[in-house]
């Protein structure tokens, strides 16, 4: 049985998180919410999908995180001609010059790293996209009947461009569900954009210091699991996820709100599965720890409901016709489930 952490241990771990955020800020101007959600996914042991138009610093953000963490970092630019073996690896024929014998040897691909940047994941065909499925879920790679373990920790950060649809392959729902968070990267404010221009057009390049290594991250991931999550919050999360399913229609404590149920059935073709509830609980715990708390609150759930659910909801044609977004529907679910039950 593990020894409970002392107050000094907790303060040291929280100080590391503060230092990590400050290190990333050395190179990334603004984007505080994006950085926070990125760190939440890391602490929760999940993967993150970043979506934004070109030039918003998505790749810089991930690269800065890799520099701040003393972890192996690889970047893969996904293209239409990329093959699964380019991701997971392949077998090569080697000859022993002493005996003359030949044998196949597995050559690991770039997925064998701790921090993997999958740049423009939606530009590669489904066959290559699926090569990441086992790695993301099981943290292993199977090739020629042999299972190879990936390093720990293992963190996939994928990016995609929402405005370019020509020559892209939308990620299937099964693969989207493997991402803990779907993070939207928006344009910076005027002051932030000015700072970006100043910082990137001068003679001094921003240096990101190394803050922590793999052992510290694994310890923090274990600490996230220990964060308290009350039974009332667990009930709210369960009802929130179930309320997103048109087939279920439950929105409250055993009661059914007919108006809310009608909206869900009108706007959604399919709702979130149980993995959404698991992700929301873990993400809320990670956010609480990131803010220096050892207990999650309703505010943590509210702050992370959209990043957890937006990629797990399949909108109907009616929702698209009425220009309803997944975030609009998540806000409706929060209003009808979380706050109506309070």
Q: What confidence tens digit (pLDDT) does each residue in 166-197 have? A: 667 888 888 888 999 999 888 877 887 787 77
Is the separation of the CB atoms in 258 and 243 below 8 Å? Answer: no
Q: If you average pLDDT over residues 304-333, what whole number do you get?
A: 87
Read off the pLDDT of residues 31-74 as tens digits, 9 standing for 90 and up.
778 888 989 999 999 999 988 877 777 777 888 888 888 888 88
Does residue 150 contact residue 112 with C-beta atoms inside 8 Å?
A: yes
Q: What are 270's two structure tokens?
A: 């399919």
CA dist 95 and 129 (Å) reads: 33
Distance, in Å, from the CA atom of 298 to the CA atom of 230, rounded to the nearest integer, reads: 10
295: its two tokens: 């207990």
Q: CA torsion 66→151→77→175, rounded to 10°?
A: -110
For residue 1, pLDDT over 70 is answered with no
Alpha helices in the chain (DSSP H): 7-25, 32-44, 58-68, 85-88, 126-129, 133-138, 173-176, 190-200, 214-226, 231-243, 258-267, 274-290, 298-309, 317-321, 326-333
CA atoms of 263 and 321, how far apart (whole Å): 14
How does pLDDT run across 203-240, given as a tens digit for each residue? 666 677 788 888 888 888 889 998 999 999 999 999 89
Residue 339 has pLDDT above 80, yes or no: no
């Amino acid at each position: 049985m593990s020894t409970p952490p002392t107050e000094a241990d907790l303060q040291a771990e929280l100080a590391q998180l503060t230092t990590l955020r400050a290190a990333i800020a050395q190179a990334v101007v603004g984007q505080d919410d994006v950085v926070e959600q990125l760190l939440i996914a890391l602490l929760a042991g999940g993967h993150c999908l970043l979506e934004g138009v070109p030039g918003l610093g998505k790749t810089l953000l991930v690269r800065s995180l890799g520099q701040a963490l003393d972890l192996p970092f690889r970047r893969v630019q996904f293209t239409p001609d990329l093959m699964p073996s380019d991701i997971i690896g392949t077998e090569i024929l080697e000859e022993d010059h002493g005996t003359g014998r030949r044998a196949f040897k597995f050559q690991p691909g770039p997925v064998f790293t701790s921090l993997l940047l999958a740049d423009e994941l939606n530009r590669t065909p489904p066959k290559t996209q699926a090569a990441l499925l086992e790695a993301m879920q099981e943290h292993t790679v199977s090739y020629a009947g042999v299972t190879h373990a990936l390093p720990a920790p293992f963190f996939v950060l994928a990016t995609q461009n929402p405005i370019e649809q020509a020559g892209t392959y939308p990620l299937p729902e099964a693969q989207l569900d493997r991402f803990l968070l779907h993070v939207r990267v928006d344009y910076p404010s005027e002051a932030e954009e000015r700072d970006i221009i100043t910082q990137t057009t001068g003679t001094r390049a921003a240096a990101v210091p190394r803050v922590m290594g793999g052992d510290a991250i694994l310890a923090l991931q274990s600490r996230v699991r220990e964060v308290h999550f009350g039974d009332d919050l667990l009930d709210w999360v369960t009802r929130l996820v179930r309320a997103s399913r048109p087939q279920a229609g439950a929105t409250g404590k055993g009661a059914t709100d007919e108006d809310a149920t009608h909206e869900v059935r009108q706007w959604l073709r399919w709702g979130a599965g149980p993995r959404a509830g698991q992700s929301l609980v873990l993400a809320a715990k990670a956010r609480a720890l990131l803010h220096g708390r050892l207990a999650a609150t309703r505010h943590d759930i509210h702050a992370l409901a959209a990043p957890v659910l937006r990629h797990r909801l399949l909108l109907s044609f009616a929702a698209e016709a009425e220009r309803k977004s997944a975030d609009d529907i998540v806000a409706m679910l929060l209003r009808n489930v979380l706050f109506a039950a309070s």
